[in-house]
Amino acid sequence: MIDETAAPAAAPQEFRRETMALVIGVAGWLVPGLGHALLKMWGRAAMFFLTVGLLVFLGAGMRGNVFTASGNDAFDSLGYLADLGTGTFYLVARSLETNGADVSHAGGDYGTRFLATAGVLNLLAALHAYEAARGRKA
């Protein structure tokens, strides 16, 4: 016999779980590691905070290019999207780079890659936290 009460009861629970997963994903994007911290995955939370933070700190310190919304071409826009992946750390990078970017040296060019990689890594981590919150094996 089919349990007619099961389906309606499961729908709000599923909706709540999806909403929570989305909140955790966004939190993980805004502050690297926060998504995993909310899931009590402390090791991962600390490591994502440290690795993304260090990449941003080093990238800005090496005077890498922190792209802005007013890019000239598609590569600037892609760089901006990648940099935005660091969430609030994007603002940290902007505030750290008081002298502006200097990509005339190899260090500045490496710095640009460090910043973009930090963003992409953080997006991966946020996606991981989102999937873990949805109940996928993490």
Partner 1 sequence: MNAGLGFKVSHLQSMLLFALLVSIAFGFLSRRRPIDRVKYIVWSLFLFLLIGVGIGWAMYPFSR
**Contact predicate 49/88, CB 8 Å:** no
**Nearer of residues 47 and 84 to partner 1, judged by Cβ:** 47
Instruction: Report if residue 98 touches partner 1, rule: CB under 8 A.
Output: yes
**Nearer of residues 76 and 102 to partner 1, judged by Cβ:** 102
Instruction: Locate 6 and state its tokens.
Output: 């099961």
Instruction: Report if residue 29 touches partner 1, rule: CB under 8 A.
Output: no
**Contact predicate 21/130, CB 8 Å:** yes
Subset of residues 51 to 70 that bind partner 1, contact rule: CB under 8 A: 51-52, 54-55, 57-58, 60-63
By the 10 Å C-beta count (0-12 exposed, 13-18 middle, 19+ buried), 113 is classed as middle
Instruction: Locate 81 and state its tokens.
Output: 């999207």
Which residues of this chain interact with partner 1, rule CB under 8 A? 43-44, 47-48, 51-52, 54-55, 57-58, 60-63, 96-99, 102, 106-107, 110, 113-114, 117, 121, 124-125, 128, 138
